[in-house]
Amino acid sequence: MDKQDIAAAKAARRSTLKSLKAKRECRIKDIQEKAAEEIRQVNIQFSSDPERLKAKYAADAAYRSERSKRRALKAQKRAEARIAYEIKMKREERLFSFGEELFNSITIGIGAGLSVAALVLFIVHAVNLSPEAVLGRTVTSYTLAGVFLFLLYLMSTFSHALCSYSAKRVFRILTYDFAFLYASAIMSLFALVIIRGAAGWLLFGLCWALAVFSVAFYSSLEAKPSVRKTGMRISALLFAALLIAELILLKPLLTVVPVKLLILAAVSCAVAELFHTMKRVRWTNCIFHLLMIIANIFCFFTVYSILP
């Protein structure tokens, strides 16, 4: 064999080894995915077994009074209802792939880092440029907006990065709660810093009353999706009504508020929500998070530029 034949043989051997390696990795990945699905089904079947819970609560109730037994029975029913709900949600929800969860965790983590920078800039900007008459409320409003934005992204990062379903559920609830608080903080900022007066304080009170209602409603009725969905629709309509009222009051002050940035933020949020409703389709949730980061960037520049 001459040098060309030897080189050709080596190249063929390297190509064969690469092909075998790729096939091996593909096979291992298939086995891992099947094993993960089998483990998930076993966990669901084990969790759905009521005998385990009955034995636990029966042993406790044997040494208690009748009143304690009734309490134990109620606790057992709540635990069984919670487990039944988790099983139902696990079966109905589309599990995000590893790639989707990794992408979500990274992008939302970047959003959390940007929100820290936004918080610092908000505080410095408010302290330096706020009118003396409204310095306290301006600094407080900007600080709350930055803090709630950071907590929103932090909770969302945990909800995607953690593996436990229960932990994901808790941090998902906290994500929505801080989203309500962040929206109220932004609207309160416009009410107290730009609108001011009796109308500003009225909008401020309505915003936070609605925020408290939304947080309490969403957190307490997380196990009742149909009732919670109806309540959230009502909450969204009320938030929209408050936003329209603010825009009407801001109309004489449109030279102060950069309207184009505000419109871009609203459009980005609307498009993001459209993708969020299609989260059963792969990668749509990732697009939703990217669009929300873009919307928050527009919102940041809007709020940042309203001070003279």
pLDDT in tens, 223-268: 666 666 777 778 778 888 887 887 777 777 766 567 788 888 888 9
Q: What does each C-alpha distance from 147 to 138, 153, 206 come to in angstroms?
A: 14, 10, 21
| 116 three-state secondary structure | helix
Asked if residue 307 lies in contact with residue 129, where contact means CB atoms within 8 angstroms, the answer is yes
Tokens 């302290």 label which residue? 127
- Report pLDDT for 88: 61
Question: What distance in Å separates the CA atoms of residue 297 and residue 302, rounded to the nearest whole number?
Answer: 9
Indicate the pTM of the whole model. Answer: 0.68
With 0-12 / 13-18 / 19 or more C-beta atoms within 10 angstroms meaning exposed / middle / buried, residue 4 is exposed
User: What does the pLDDT profile of the chain (308 residues) look like in tens digits?
Assistant: 566 566 556 656 666 666 777 777 878 888 888 888 777 776 666 555 566 556 555 655 655 566 666 777 777 777 776 666 666 655 556 567 777 888 888 898 899 999 999 999 999 999 998 888 888 899 999 999 999 999 999 998 888 877 777 788 888 889 989 999 999 999 899 888 888 888 889 989 998 998 898 888 888 776 666 666 777 778 778 888 887 887 777 777 766 567 788 888 888 988 988 888 787 788 888 898 899 999 999 999 988 888 86
Alpha-carbon dihedral sign for residues 64, 68, 73, 78: negative
Which pLDDT value is given to residue 149?
A: 94
Place of tokens 């990217």: 290
Amino acid found at 216: A
CB atoms within 10 A of CB 121: 14
